[in-house]
Structure 1
Amino acid sequence: KHMERFDDALQAYDGIVAEFPYNVFAWSARADLLKELGHLHSAIEAYDKVIERPWNPKKQGAQVAKAAIFAAMGRWGDAERLLPKGEPRTRDDWIALHVRGMILLRSGRLSDSVALFEKALNEIPFANERKYFESALVVANLRLKRFGEAVRALGQDQSPLMNVLRIHAFGAAKRIEDARAAYDSSEGHGPPALVELRNALAVQFGLRSGARRRGWTWFFEQECRAILLTAA
């Protein structure tokens, strides 16, 4: 049923952009949904429809979202070329900084990424965008095997993504009952890739039966991908 809602929403946006092909808000919302579902090439095409329209309020956000997709695909140079330079001021600027930090994280510059995320959390003026840096800091600390720090970075966000990261952080810190509570609270929430990640973590920490155990690099890559495709 959860996937049916995604499909229904996508069909609705398809209808809107067919009827109003210059509606950048509809194209942007459709692109966001495609990105969340993991249809990355289709999402890039939809964001391009927004970017090519002059003088519209969604252009920078679409560029940052497209950069996040490139970062998720490992195309870091393509991502960097789309990101704004200078100190962050707007919400889109802060999300762009987050994408830049995720590129550091994905490319193995763990200490640099942690420094960026921690500095951003001390300075960001936008409450809603804090969760993007929190989720990134959780994953960076997990990669560094600093499990207590990962738990402390979890924050108050109750999004499906953060609840999946709670499973990993609590499980790695041997707080199995807390991991189980996070697992139970995230049931059936999120796009298919996030549900797969949730279930794989549950198997890894003995919260559900199953013999298929993933390597920790797979979890790191999937968590980074989920963060990038959720944030921008």
Structure 2
Amino acid sequence: MEKPSVSATDNGLWGPALDILREWDPSWARSVEVQSLEPWRSGVLSRKLVELIGVGLNAACTNLNREGLQRHMRAALDAGATRGEILLVLKCAAVMAVHSCSLGSPLLLEEAKAAGIAIEHATDAPTPACDGMKAAGQWNVAWDPFLALDPAWTDAFMAVGIGVYTDSSLTAREIELLSIAVDASFTHMYAPGTRRHIAHALKAGATPAEIMAVLKLCVSQGYQALNLGLPMLAEELARRAAEEPSPAAAASL
């Protein structure tokens, strides 16, 4: 398979920061370019899917990087992504916030029990959306604790979630690869979800190489620190230089 030719600017990852880095530290900049853009240049994932994953990483409720999101969104559209595909990615980036309940509700049940506090479980409340998720084979047992604590709220959330799972804009394989990215991202690092989605991705036909490419994209996301900081530093240095008196002016003081 011929590897795609991707220039340093022909991607959603880099903004003006790479040019600044080339000027200030050319040797390190060359190493950074080779490493950061490998997922784009390897051809393991399609260019469109790489950029959609970039949209997900930057839009994720654990990240919310506006500039990175805009770059990847433009690049995804350039690569042929549709409005529906990008909308589904944004939905996935939003609903991952349920991990707050996946993490906290079992702890609440355990600590309440340890403290001798009884918690009423409303098991007779109707939960049609939860039932639909179970029927679709998409129920996660990590959701059982907060279903027991608040079935009405859980069902309201699952009515939102089932709309994501039943959306056909992306394939099951693509959804699972995207989910791996947002769960494994260094701003989230949610191990149970990462493992679950890796297992589901393999079942959906993803290869280990594709999953590794997703994890590499999570690492490339780290360079958003440079995209944020280098233009800011360059601007501050330029401002200070403009405010300093010239040598001739300083000598006349």
Larger RCO, structures 1/2 (Cα 8 Å, 6+ apart): 2
What is the TM-score of this pair, normalised by structure 2?
Answer: 0.27
What is the TM-score of this pair, normalised by structure 1?
Answer: 0.29
Rg bigger for which structure? Answer: 2
